[in-house]
Chains A and B, each alone.
Chain A
Amino acid sequence: DIVMTQSPDSLAVSLGERVTINCKSSQSVLYSSNNKNYLAWYQQKPGQPPKLLIYYTSTRESGVPDRFSGSGSGTDFTLTISSLQAEDVAVYYCQQYHSTPYTFGQGTRLEIK
């Protein structure tokens, strides 16, 4: 199985500041046939299921604010929130869908400082 490791486990950031969450896969999730990285990001707020934010590393799901962006390739990926809003408090997960079983990172808890 591909192991997904996120860092940090938690962070506290001031409103309006930039947030960076990292995700590392134990093997490449780059699909050579289409040159796409099979990496998604989800946001989970308390008492709710995860919500898809980004797929193919950097493509935002419909309705996701453009302050959320994703980047990376191969085994190293980043989710960035350009300016933290109060409603962004949540746990964020990365997921690889390159190889079954599709696996998730352990999550990064984001709080307001």
Chain B
Amino acid sequence: QLQLRPSGPGLLKPSQTLSLTCAISGDSVSSNSATWNWIRQSPSRGLEWLGRTYFRSRWFRDYALSVKSRITVNPDTSKNQFSLQLNSVTPEDTAVYYCTRETPVGWSDFWGQGTLVTVSS
């Protein structure tokens, strides 16, 4: 059974870097039939897709334009996980962050439990 377990600091100060990892069990980050997403949810912005990584003979990464200058999503095949790095955070980055598995077509068929990240001085 698929499990996605996000982990990372829950409290950051403005200008710091948000770093989260999502450990995968029951599937492979290198799967040719899955895409691995980060999506966040906040009262002000709702559900917001941030970025993804997937393997189709080589690694691909896509990012939302709203965060493209600050975000990196990377796979870690040795640990079967993927990560999110978001630089220069502000209080607007306060949200629950979800990692999800996306089907090749585009819907997210499995969501990990979210992790709350608060940005506050």
A-B pairs with beta carbons under 8 A, tally: 51
B48: chain A residues at CB < 8 Å are: 104
Could you tell me if B107 and A104 are in contact, using CB atoms closer than 8 angstroms?
A: no
Please tell me the number of chain B residues within 8 Å of chain A, measured between CB atoms: 20
Which of B49, B98, B109, B113 contacts A52 (CB under 8 A)? B109
B100: chain A residues at CB < 8 Å are: 49
Please tell me the number of chain A residues within 8 Å of chain B, measured between CB atoms: 23
B53 to chain A, nearest CB (A): 13
Could you tell me if A97 and B109 are in contact, using CB atoms closer than 8 angstroms?
A: no
Provide the B91-121 mask, 1 if CB < 8 A to any CB of A, else 0: 0000000101001011111111110000000
Complex alpha-carbon distance, A100 and B98, angstroms: 18
Q: Please report B residues at the A interface, Cβ cutoff 8 Å.
A: 46-49, 62, 64-65, 98, 100, 103, 105-114
4 shortest interchain CB distances as A-B pairs: A97-B106, A49-B111, A104-B47, A40-B107
Q: Please report A residues at the B interface, Cβ cutoff 8 Å.
A: 38, 40, 42, 48-52, 55-56, 61, 93, 95, 97-98, 100-107
